[in-house]
Amino acid sequence: MPLWLELVIRIGGVVAAFLVLPLLVGQAEHKVMAHMQGRLGPMYAGGFHGWAQLVADGVKFVQKEDVTPRAADRPVFRLAPAVALVPYLLALLVIPLGPNDLVGQPLDVGLFFVLAVVGVGVLAVLMSAWASANKYSLLGGLRGAAQLLGYELPLVLAAASVAMAAGTLSLSGIVEAWQPWWLIWQAPAMVVFFVAGLAEIRRPPFDMPVADSELVFGYLTEYTGLRFAFLLLAEYVGIVVIAALTTVLFLGGWQGPFADDQLGWLWTLLKVAAVSFVIIWLRVSYPRLREDQLQRLCWLVLVPTALAQLVLTAAVRVAL
């Protein structure tokens, strides 16, 4: 196969996943939350259980007027939604779906690359908050910056633990080195990574930057139409990325109960779907944390746990 054709196929697959998987997660959130709360959820758009509800929402956003506040910094205000989306697209490029280089672009330092680009998301929050010329947006942006900068540390420490255990920064290499007993040994790191990941994508109960009862809708307050839809899409893509990273780093990625690697991609998707379900479940189950509770959880619980896990991993690596 020519190199250019292989490149087109890989990039096309990643873009398709970038466009389709967040919609599936969004539709699942509609229905899962509805049933957990004793509601029906969307039932009419598209016919069968409202399967086309998110498509209808997208059409609605396209038809809405795109309003930019008069006092806003227009170039920054309009660029922020794109800055929110691009890091997740780049992250999906290097997350492996299956064995035999079934990945957009295999990198020997894939873990380092993913953690670096996902951290860029804080720029979109700050850009949208500052450029909106709105006090509620600014407060939401400051909350978001404090939250994202704080939770970046336990996220990186937890990922470093599993990378140290595997002896590589390659995401595919980590999956290949993974063993079932890591579910117990690396369990604290997995919990820290998962919780910090939720805070990174500002999902409930870590949604202080968009606390609607206090800040209208935080840094999203002034956005309308398609730009607002892009910012919402960034949240759902973030769910897919965090679920995929949790799967690859801590749940064995494409490894399943059988020796047949031909179904590896299916195991990865099933695990990503299961982790996404847990993320939705937590939104329904837990109330929003206060700002002091959020920071206390980060610095007094997650960071010490991640550091202790690093010490344990180093000790086990030396012993083995």
Cβ atoms of residues 6 and 101 within 8 Å: no
Distance CA 97, CA 100 (A): 10
Read off the pLDDT band of 161 (50, 70, 90): very high
Distance CA 54, CA 140 (A): 26
**Mean predicted confidence (pLDDT) in 241-264:** 83
Say whether pLDDT at 178 is over 70: yes
Of 208, 213, 233, 214, the residue nearest 223 (C-alpha): 233
User: DSSP states of 21-32 as a string?
Assistant: HHHHHHHHHHHH
Give the tokens for residue 292.
């002091």
Residue ranges of the domains in the chain? 3-319
Write down the residue that tokens 């930057």 correspond to.
209
9-18, 55-64, 94-103, 242-251, range with greatest mean pLDDT: 242-251
Say whether pLDDT at 191 is over 90: yes
Q: What percent of the chain has pLDDT over 90?
A: 26
The pTM (predicted TM-score) of the whole model is 0.91
Tally of CB atoms within 10 A around 62: 11
Read off the pLDDT band of 260 (50, 70, 90): low
Say whether pLDDT at 289 is over 70: yes
Segment 40-99, tens digit of pLDDT: 878 887 778 788 888 888 888 888 878 888 888 888 888 988 888 889 989 999 999 888
Cβ atoms of residues 72 and 132 within 8 Å: yes
Q: Would you state the pLDDT for residue 239?
A: 93
Say whether pLDDT at 190 is over 90: yes
